[in-house]
Amino acid sequence: DAKTTQPNSMESNEEEPVHLPCNHSTISGTDYIHWYRQLPSQGPEYVIHGLTSNVNNRMASLAIAEDRKSSTLILHRATLRDAAVYYCIDPDMRFGAGTRLTVKP
Amino acid sequence: GAVVSQHPSWVICKSGTSVKIECRSLDFQATTMFWYRQFPKQSLMLMATSNEGSKATYEQGVEKDKFLINHASLTLSTLTVTSAHPEDSSFYICSAGTSGRVNEQFFGPGTRLTVL
């Protein structure tokens, strides 16, 4: 079983920020935290990864808790195209249930 | 970013036949590839981990004689579903990456298998 837990679903309004949480309390000190997202009938798409420091890229930001037991993926301005299932995956590449993000216009 | 392809993108076969799915890393060498299956409305389920030049490591409950995995080169891994049955109908997805601290993986677009 995956070692990550996420809320099943979240909703956001278009153009508003979205914070997607993930608990990974069993992660080791050297394991990176990876986030992917998946649109229907497609393979997962890489979003971001990080180790200890907060990370930013053109898609999102990743805020990692100081104890590394949790992280939050931040979409600064959600668009309709961001509607997807978001996964933080464990270091063994196992997927949990993910969070289904719905973006309302 | 790195590109991973899968072939075919979809396949329909008769019950009892075997189907081979290819996973290729197009612009990098992949020391590790992972195979997943995904049923409708569910998450990805890891089936096996494949390292180039060695036998695949299967997850508990996945029949290695039914789902044959070959990782013969650094750019190609294949999954063969032998004696397919309707319950094997699923979306099969591979990922490819390089081993190391970051363990970044890149996913293929998936293959939709329908067994009649």
How do residues A9-53 score in pLDDT, each as one tens digit? 999 999 999 999 999 888 887 888 999 999 999 999 999 999 988
**Interior CA angle at A93 toward A22 and B112, to 5°?**
105
Please report the number of interchain residue pairs, chain A to chain B, with beta-carbon separation below 8 angstroms.
55
Predicted confidence at residue A71, as pLDDT, reads 95
Residue B99 scores a pLDDT above 70: no
Report whether the peptide linkage leading into residue B40 is cis, meaning its omega lies within 30 degrees of zero. Answer: no
Of the CA atoms within 13 Å of residue A100, those in its CB half-sphere come to 8
CB of B69 less than 8 A from some CB of A: no
Partners of A46 in beta bridges? A36
Residues of chain A contacting residue B45, judged by C-beta atoms under 8 Å apart: 95
The pLDDT tens digits of the residues spanning B33-47 come to 999 999 999 999 999
What CA–CA distance (Å, rounded) separates A29 from A21?
19
Q: What is the pLDDT of residues B45-94, one digit of tens each?
A: 999 998 888 889 999 999 999 999 998 888 999 999 999 999 999 999 99
Distance from CA of residue B5 to its chain's centroid? Answer: 11
Chain A CB within 8 Å of residue B105 CB: yes
The secondary structure of residue A5, as a DSSP letter, is: B
pLDDT of residue A86: 98
Task: Note the pLDDT of residue B25.
Answer: 93
Mention every residue, 6+ apart, whose C-beta is less than 8 A from residue B67: B35, B47, B48, B58, B79, B80, B81, B82
Q: Please state, rounded to an integer, the average pLDDT across all residues of chain B.
A: 92
Measure CB to CB from residue B102 to each of A32, A85, A98 and give the nearest one.
Answer: A32
